[in-house]
Amino acid sequence: MAGDKQNVLSISMLDIGALAQLKQHIEQELDFFSTSLQQLKAAQTKFQESENSLDMLKPSSEGKDILVPLTSSMYVPGRLVDVNKITVDIGTGYYIEKDIIASKDYFKRRVKYITDQMEKIQKIAQEKVALREAIIETMDKKIQATFASQAAAAAASKS
């Protein structure tokens, strides 16, 4: 599309102050990506554990006593009634009943989706790291050039 033009500014055109601000912004983005990856990893682990837990449910488990978690540290006694009916938390307070195969499929899809999102974020983060390194390199060159010009000016004023 001819009307869509991006304004591209080379980082070498920016002054040291602008480069420092850009570097700080990139570092904030990298912190955000790092936090996002940690949260996604936790969700991925939760879904993988849920899928793996389904392997423990067998028809012979029906009628067995279990402890049902109310919180991460509080449980109530319960009894397995129908091991083929699983209530799955699909988010934001919604639950659906699925059989074991459909539940495993759901958890596999969630793990794959989260893994794909993590890969996308990692790719963007790698690009941001490369940009940050280029900014640091450009800043170093500009600082060295400033010192060199100041030294040359000082030497010229002494002679």
Tell me: the pLDDT tens digits for 142-155?
A: 999 988 888 888 88
pLDDT of residue 31 exceeding 60, the answer is yes
The pLDDT value given to residue 50: 95
pLDDT at residue 111, rounded to an integer: 98
Q: What is the pLDDT of residue 4?
A: 52
CATH number corresponding to 17-56+85-149: 1.10.287.370
pTM for the complete prediction? 0.77
**Residue 8 pLDDT > 80, yes or no?**
no
Q: CA 9 to CA 131: how far, in whole Å?
A: 13
- The Cα 127–Cα 132 span in angstroms is 9
Please say if the pLDDT value at position 133 is more than 50: yes
Distance CA 148, CA 159 (A): 17
In this predicted model, what pLDDT tens digit does every residue of 68-92 receive, in sequence order? Answer: 999 989 999 999 988 889 999 999 9
Q: What pLDDT is stored for residue 159 in this prediction?
A: 66
**Amino acid, single-letter form, for residue 142:** K
Among 36-40, 69-73, 118-122, whose mean pLDDT is lowest? 69-73
Q: Is the pLDDT of residue 26 over 60?
A: yes
Confidence category of residue 24, pLDDT binned at 50, 70, 90? very high
